Amino acid sequence: MKIVILDGKTTNPGDISWAPLEALGEVTAYDYTAPEDIVSRAAGCEAIIMNRAPITRAVMEALPKLRFVGALATGYNTIDTAAAHELGITVCNVPLYCDKTVAQLAFALLLELTNHVSALSETVRTGGGWNDAIRMSWTTHDIFELTGKTLGILGFGHIGQTVASLGVDLGMRVLVHSRTKRPMPAGCEWVDFDTLFAESDVVSLHCPLNGETRGIVNERVLRLMKPTAFLLNTARGAVVDEAALASALNEGVIAGAGVDVLTDEPPKSNCPLLTAKNCVITPHIAWASRDARVRLVKIVAENLAAFLAGKPQNTV
């Protein structure tokens, strides 16, 4: 089987192995493929493995041997799945490989907002005040304790559930809103959308990006939040109206935000969050621990192996 990896560098910058896929066929791996080069690079292939490369109807129709598209991700919004179904091409994603590492990054963003670790460390390293203080303990920032506070979670898949569990362990009240109302685990309470934002001290976004959720966190929603509240986004950038969030931060409507995802990635120079107050931004790395990436490649290979055995799994 001829297998082409179109944009493998994000998943594997050289520190892990493609061996699980190489065991299934002849693999050609590219770090990045421009959209206009996809057809030429994938010519004659039976399986495409990709992360964000756009697999359009035109691409699939130009590749008559293509039978399988495997996403190196949970999200698959760059694949025309309707066209794939019509053309008899199986599409698989990896729904569960990074729930723990994404939840960890969500709390890393939150703790940076509440404990100001990097800012305080920098003041110490640059002689910013502790050197001259007469007290043993000195700070330029207020510390926000999470125990007893309310954590709101929008979207309750595996990642949302993991974040909820961490919140419960920290002694937080956990509110949940999801597309489907379901029984809640101990320590969690399902509430309506507006209540989630109005009552939470921290709102963490874990919903997929689709027509219903695009821009769902907008000016109206942000103004429901407490002025002391924080917003976390480790889902998809476009679920948030970035201009509205920047205004909310700059005007003190909310206290801070931690985001790992933006609408345009890498960000354009005019992205309003780049200059917004109290906004911590990381470069879409919540999923990218080495352990998670090893799991990802293993599961993508398992998806392809299951397809070859006539028992496809994780199909979308």
Tell me the domains of the chain and their CATH numbers: 2-97+290-308 (3.40.50.720), 99-281 (3.40.50.720)
What is the rounded average pLDDT of the residues 168-190?
A: 94
Q: Which of 52, 284, 295, 302 is an active site residue?
A: 284
What is the rounded average pLDDT of the residues 208-230?
A: 96
137 pLDDT higher than 80: no
In the three-class reduction of DSSP (H, G, I as helix; E, B as strand; rest coil), residue 299 is classed as helix
Q: How many percent of the chain have pLDDT more than 70?
A: 98
77-110 pLDDT per residue, tens: 899 999 999 999 999 999 889 999 999 999 999 9
Among 243, 226, 176, 184, smallest CA distance to 205 is for: 176
Contact between 94 and 220 under an 8 Å Cβ cutoff? The reply is no
Q: CA 248 to CA 257: how far, in whole Å?
A: 10
Examine the residue annotation and report whether 265 is marked as an active-site residue of this protein: yes
Q: What is the pLDDT of residue 117?
A: 92
Q: What is the pLDDT of residue 95?
A: 87
Least confident of 141-145, 183-187, 212-216, 228-232: 141-145
36-82 pLDDT per residue, tens: 999 999 999 999 999 999 999 999 999 999 999 999 998 898 999 99
Q: What is the pLDDT of residue 18?
A: 98
Q: Which of 22, 61, 145, 265 is an active site residue?
A: 265
Element (H, E) at 247: helix 242-250
Among 237, 236, 278, 227, smallest CA distance to 257 is for: 278
Query: pTM of the entire structure?
Result: 0.87
Q: What is the pLDDT of residue 182?
A: 84
Tokens (6 digits) for 94: 């990896």
Q: Which of 116, 177, 236, 293 is an active site residue?
A: 236
316 pLDDT higher than 90: yes
Contact between 27 and 3 under an 8 Å Cβ cutoff? The reply is yes
Element (H, E) at 138: none
Q: What is the pLDDT of residue 120?
A: 85
What is the rounded average pLDDT of the residues 282-288?
A: 94
Q: What is the pLDDT of residue 207?
A: 94
Q: Which amino acid is present at 310?
A: G
Q: What is the pLDDT of residue 125?
A: 84
Contact between 104 and 110 under an 8 Å Cβ cutoff? The reply is no
In the three-class reduction of DSSP (H, G, I as helix; E, B as strand; rest coil), residue 157 is classed as coil
For the chain, what is the mean pLDDT? 95
Question: At 73, phi and psi to the nearest 5?
Answer: -175, 170
Q: What is the pLDDT of residue 123?
A: 82
Q: What is the pLDDT of residue 142?
A: 85
Examine the residue annotation and report whether 236 is marked as an active-site residue of this protein: yes
274 pLDDT higher than 90: yes
Tokens (6 digits) for 276: 């917004």
Among 133, 213, 295, 142, smallest CA distance to 221 is for: 213
Q: How many CB atoms lie within 10 A of CB 245?
A: 25
β-pairing, 279-281 vs 256-259, is parallel
Contact between 174 and 201 under an 8 Å Cβ cutoff? The reply is no
Q: Residues 239, 245, 248, 253: what is their CA dihedral angle, to the nearest 10 degrees?
A: 40
Q: What is the pLDDT of residue 134?
A: 63
What is the rounded average pLDDT of the residues 14-29?
A: 98
